[in-house]
Chain A
Amino acid sequence: MNFNFLHRFGKIFYLITGFTLFLVGLILDVISKNVGPVFAQVDLIKIGAFVPFYFYIQSYWKRESVPLKRLTAILILGTIVLGISLLLTVAIGIEFEFKASSLIPNNYSTIFISNALAVIIGVAAILFILLLRDILIYKPRRYTKRNFIILVLALLATTFSAINLNPYESRLVTTILFGIFVLLILINSFRMPWIVFLKKREKVLTIVFTFSTLVIFTALILIYQNNSAAGKSILYFSHSLKYFIDGVFLLILLYSLIAFLSTIFHLPTSDTFDRKMSEVASLHNLSKLVTQVLDFNELVESVTSMTLQVCEAKSSWLEIIQPSDKLRNLKSEQSNISVAAQKNISVQDINRINLSSPITLRSSVINDRKPVMIDDFKSDSRTKHLNGLDTKIGSILAVPLIARNELVGILYATMEAEYGFDREDLELISAFADQAAVAVDNSRLIEKSFERERLMREMNLAQEMQKRLLPQTLPSIEHIEFEAFSSPAFEVGGDYYDFMMIDDKHLAIVIGDVSGKGVSAAFYMAEMKGIFQSLCKIYPSPKDFLIKANQAISSSIDKRTFISLIYAVLNLETGLLTSARAGHCPFILAKESDVSFVRPNGIGLGMGNSELFAKYIQESQTHLNSGDTLIFYTDGITEAHTKEGDEFGYSRLLDAIKNNRNKSAIDIRDAIISSVNEYMQNQPPHDDLTLIILKWLRN
């Protein structure tokens, strides 16, 4: 046998036991009518029959947490009980004779009816208690359950103290216990927190239900008076049961009376309560919203629609203030403000409200950073000129959104009635605005961090691109020492250099600097590299090359951007160096006799007029002897500066070369770099540094 079967069998066992005891009681009643009392403790059997019934009911009982539903059940059950009682006692009719201080039934039908009635009423009374228990222990406090158990115990004590008591007699102990029970009813009945939480409609329903319950149970008490037919039936069955059902009826009556009265008292405040509840719910929703800040538009839409909910406003809108750009004029927050979302009001109306006079709601909120409430829109000096708006406005409220001491926006709400907003509305919308401000602020921070990440990626990309644009290997020529050094600054700069063999005996060298930084600089570098590689073989003359390069680059370059460049061609057999300079730092020629700048005229590439460029550009020629060194560089070297802003300059560069010119190319390179670093006191460079050293070793 499994457990489930046992369980089910147990329940049936309760039922069987209950009915058996009830039948025994009935048989004893029939016998005593014919023979006279045979068994003194018949009362115990009769009352005892209800104990298994109770356990049977209890085994199927499920607690219900909505008090109103239980109240309905009590009402329905009460009506049924009332109907049955009337039917059995009035329609069929029962007769008793009062003899020797006990009730003697006149016929057998009276015995049957009163027994049936007693069982029905007794079981119903148990159900009433269980139903009421669910109502009473709604939202229990510390002593709630305990108080209820004491109440039931008092009722049971009353019932059992009246065992074997004759009808119409009384016992002192029973009367005292019943008195205590009534007192306990009062204590328990004043606990009805469930009424407060009802919506207005539910409260009205509760009033109707409790009043009906009141009527039904008054009727029941009247029907079950000691002298009525129904009362006699129960008294005949058992005086104890009479006490029990009287107690239960009284309990329900008093409870429904008190519930009825207190619901009536709560009715006037129920609107306020309903509103408070929806306010709490809205605030709760908004605090959830704070975490949903990825979609800014969704956020501002929710803020405005919740404002309508929170204070039952007619219309609402939210203005957002963009953080002021520090490079632009810091003039006013007014110019950075825009309507982010609106409900039940047009943008035209909003603009009229905000722009029609020098002192507006918006400007007062911006200046004072405090909420502004206008109770009478039509007569207030700030708004009375605003007639003919599409939206009917009686009163208006504007609250600042402040996050981390910054005004991030303004939230508005309007009502059709004058004096529509009270102090609570103001407090509530202010609290609401605080939440909204945090959400808006968070949303912006997230956006900013996305933007920063994007810039970082862009910069990495540009750095990678720049690295690839520079030659990966240096030309290897027997009688020339080559050294190159390039160090990009933290931000990507536009330094560029390259080499190319034009033919068997001519080497082209290019060094340049694109103005600007980042991706655009890397882009122009790439373009320059393309131009270099395609034009250097077509135009062997540096001057021609630069003129063509200028034409090519001018068509695509931004007006503000230019490229400085030196283009040199070295004849590897004769040592003849032909060079031209387009606005780039002059290169240095270190000879045995002298160290000097080579500075032919020339304008930077992309600086405009192609004719002027062609007109002014010059070519320079020089012959290299053994030991002669060429030093090409970018302005990152000469403009390297100390913390105080003093630049390394041309003369220090010249000195560094003079002192080291007889060394190898690599040593000259290192000498220059260490000289620059020493001068800068190891500060990080603020611009790219590029250096090319070329030492000619043939006569």
Chain B
Amino acid sequence: MTNFKINFRENSDVQIIDLKGYLDAHTAPEFENAIQQIINNKQYKIIVNCKNLSYISSAGLGVFMAYIEEVRKNKGDIKITNASPKIYNVFDILGFPMLYEITKTEEDALKKFSRRI
């Protein structure tokens, strides 16, 4: 059950993180390391693709909150895409859509990044 995988991709200057499996208190540090590494490389445009994410706990949600301030200060953003209805509901209940850009597809998110520039 603790199957969790992170994959990195890059599209022009946008870093894409694919999350797969269970993002809970045990796996959240991996996700946190992933975002930290991207920020260490001075990249601040991040898309988190939740297509294969099957569960997210409050610890997982906390990771987004930990970095959003720093990313936005550097004129970047963390955008969330491809969340399943169940995952979207978790985001929604907590009020994430009011704080983060959550799009249906990755293309939408990429477009929003390029539009801003």
The interface of chain A, by Cβ under 8 A from chain B, is 327-328, 513, 515-517, 559-562, 564, 582-586, 599, 601-604, 607-609, 612, 616, 645, 647
Q: A516-B59, A564-B94, A607-B99 are in contact. Are A327 and B29 (CB under 8 A)?
A: yes
Minimum C-beta distance from B25 to chain A (A): 7
Contacts of A645 in B (CB 8 A): 1, 22, 54-55
Say yes or no: A608 contacts B69, CB within 8 Å: yes
Residue B14 lies at the interface, judged by CB distance under 8 Å to chain A: no
Say yes or no: A607 contacts B66, CB within 8 Å: no
Say yes or no: B94 contacts A583, CB within 8 Å: yes
Contacts of A517 in B (CB 8 A): 25
Partner of B66, one of A560, A564, A585, A599: A560
Say yes or no: A583 contacts B93, CB within 8 Å: yes
A-B contact pairs, 25 of them (CB 8 A): A515-B59, A515-B61, A515-B62, A559-B62, A559-B66, A560-B62, A561-B62, A562-B62, A562-B65, A564-B93, A583-B93, A584-B93, A585-B93, A599-B93, A603-B95, A607-B94, A607-B95, A608-B65, A608-B68, A608-B99, A612-B98, A616-B95, A616-B98, A645-B1, A645-B22
The interface of chain B, by Cβ under 8 A from chain A, is 1, 22, 25, 29-30, 33, 54-55, 58-59, 61-63, 65-66, 68-69, 86, 93-95, 98-99
User: In the assembly, what is the distance between CA of A564 and CA of B94, in Å?
Assistant: 7
Contacts of B62 in A (CB 8 A): 515-516, 559-562
User: In the assembly, what is the distance between CA of A513 and CA of B30, in Å?
Assistant: 24
Say yes or no: A604 contacts B95, CB within 8 Å: yes
Say yes or no: A562 contacts B59, CB within 8 Å: no
Q: Select from chain B the residue with minimum beta-carbon distance to A687.
A: B57
Say yes or no: A604 contacts B94, CB within 8 Å: yes
Say yes or no: B93 contacts A586, CB within 8 Å: yes
Q: A327-B29, A515-B59, A645-B1 are in contact. Are A609 and B99 (CB under 8 A)?
A: yes
Contacts of B25 in A (CB 8 A): 517
12 extra interchain contacts, Cβ-Cβ under 8 A, other than A564-B94, A607-B99?
A515-B58, A515-B61, A516-B58, A517-B25, A559-B65, A584-B93, A601-B98, A603-B95, A608-B68, A616-B95, A645-B1, A647-B86
Say yes or no: B29 contacts A559, CB within 8 Å: no
Say yes or no: A562 contacts B99, CB within 8 Å: no
Q: A515-B58, A645-B54 are in contact. Are A562 and B94 (CB under 8 A)?
A: yes
Partner of A601, one of B1, B59, B95: B95
Say yes or no: B98 contacts A560, CB within 8 Å: no
Contacts of A608 in B (CB 8 A): 65, 68-69, 99
Contacts of B63 in A (CB 8 A): 560
Minimum C-beta distance from A385 to chain B (A): 33
Q: Select from chain B the residue with minimum beta-carbon distance to A513.
A: B58
User: In the assembly, what is the distance between CA of A516 and CA of B54, in Å?
Assistant: 20
Minimum C-beta distance from B68 to chain A (A): 7
Residue pairs across A and B with CB atoms within 8 Å: the count is 64
User: In the assembly, what is the distance between CA of A585 and CA of B92, in Å?
Assistant: 10
Q: Select from chain A the residue with minimum beta-carbon distance to B3.
A: A645
User: In the assembly, what is the distance between CA of A643 and CA of B95, in Å?
Assistant: 29
User: In the assembly, what is the distance between CA of A607 and CA of B63, in Å?
Assistant: 11
Q: Select from chain B the residue with minimum beta-carbon distance to A599.
A: B93
Minimum C-beta distance from B70 to chain A (A): 10
Say yes or no: A602 contacts B54, CB within 8 Å: no
Say yes or no: B61 contacts A562, CB within 8 Å: yes
Partner of B30, one of A327, A584, A602: A327
Contacts of A585 in B (CB 8 A): 93
Contacts of A559 in B (CB 8 A): 62, 65-66, 69
User: In the assembly, what is the distance between CA of A609 and CA of B72, in Å?
Assistant: 13
User: In the assembly, what is the distance between CA of A608 and CA of B66, in Å?
Assistant: 10
User: In the assembly, what is the distance between CA of A517 and CA of B25, in Å?
Assistant: 9
User: In the assembly, what is the distance between CA of A602 and CA of B63, in Å?
Assistant: 20
Contacts of A516 in B (CB 8 A): 58-59, 62
Contacts of B54 in A (CB 8 A): 645
Interface centre among B30, B65, B69, B86 (most CB of A within 10 A): B65
Interface centre among A516, A559, A561 (most CB of B within 10 A): A559
Minimum C-beta distance from A650 to chain B (A): 8
User: In the assembly, what is the distance between CA of A23 and CA of B22, in Å?
Assistant: 112
Interface centre among B1, B25, B62, B98 (most CB of A within 10 A): B98
Contacts of B69 in A (CB 8 A): 559, 608
Q: Select from chain B the residue with minimum beta-carbon distance to A606.
A: B65
User: Nearest 7 pairs between A and B by C-beta?
Assistant: A603-B95, A515-B58, A560-B62, A583-B94, A560-B66, A616-B98, A583-B95
User: In the assembly, what is the distance between CA of A689 and CA of B25, in Å?
Assistant: 18
User: In the assembly, what is the distance between CA of A586 and CA of B95, in Å?
Assistant: 12
Minimum C-beta distance from B50 to chain A (A): 16
User: In the assembly, what is the distance between CA of A584 and CA of B55, in Å?
Assistant: 17
Q: Select from chain B the residue with minimum beta-carbon distance to A515.
A: B58
User: In the assembly, what is the distance between CA of A608 and CA of B65, in Å?
Assistant: 8
Interface centre among B58, B66, B68 (most CB of A within 10 A): B58
User: In the assembly, what is the distance between CA of A602 and CA of B22, in Å?
Assistant: 26
Say yes or no: A612 contacts B30, CB within 8 Å: no
Say yes or no: A607 contacts B93, CB within 8 Å: no
Contacts of A603 in B (CB 8 A): 94-95, 98-99
Q: A612-B98, A616-B98 are in contact. Are A562 and B58 (CB under 8 A)?
A: yes
Minimum C-beta distance from A397 to chain B (A): 39
User: In the assembly, what is the distance between CA of A599 and CA of B29, in Å?
Assistant: 32
Q: Select from chain B the residue with minimum beta-carbon distance to A602.
A: B95
Minimum C-beta distance from A516 to chain B (A): 7
Interface centre among B30, B63, B99 (most CB of A within 10 A): B99
Contacts of B65 in A (CB 8 A): 559-560, 562, 607-608
Interface centre among B59, B63, B68, B93 (most CB of A within 10 A): B93
Contacts of A583 in B (CB 8 A): 93-95
User: In the assembly, what is the distance between CA of A215 and CA of B57, in Å?
Assistant: 96
User: In the assembly, what is the distance between CA of A584 and CA of B65, in Å?
Assistant: 17
Minimum C-beta distance from B18 to chain A (A): 19
Minimum C-beta distance from A325 to chain B (A): 10
Minimum C-beta distance from B57 to chain A (A): 8
User: In the assembly, what is the distance between CA of A607 and CA of B65, in Å?
Assistant: 7
User: In the assembly, what is the distance between CA of A101 and CA of B29, in Å?
Assistant: 115
Q: Select from chain A the residue with minimum beta-carbon distance to B98.
A: A616
Contacts of B95 in A (CB 8 A): 582-583, 601-604, 607, 616
Contacts of A582 in B (CB 8 A): 95
Contacts of A599 in B (CB 8 A): 93
Q: Select from chain A the residue with minimum beta-carbon distance to B58.
A: A515
Minimum C-beta distance from A329 to chain B (A): 8
Interface centre among B54, B59, B68, B95 (most CB of A within 10 A): B95
Minimum C-beta distance from B87 to chain A (A): 11
Contacts of B59 in A (CB 8 A): 515-516, 560
Minimum C-beta distance from A337 to chain B (A): 22
Contacts of A564 in B (CB 8 A): 93-94
Q: Select from chain B the residue with minimum beta-carbon distance to A609.
A: B99
Minimum C-beta distance from A525 to chain B (A): 14
Contacts of B1 in A (CB 8 A): 645
Contacts of B22 in A (CB 8 A): 645
User: In the assembly, what is the distance between CA of A253 and CA of B99, in Å?
Assistant: 106
Contacts of A584 in B (CB 8 A): 93
Minimum C-beta distance from B39 to chain A (A): 14
User: In the assembly, what is the distance between CA of A612 and CA of B62, in Å?
Assistant: 18
Interface centre among A584, A604, A609 (most CB of B within 10 A): A604
User: In the assembly, what is the distance between CA of A526 and CA of B44, in Å?
Assistant: 36
Contacts of B61 in A (CB 8 A): 515, 562
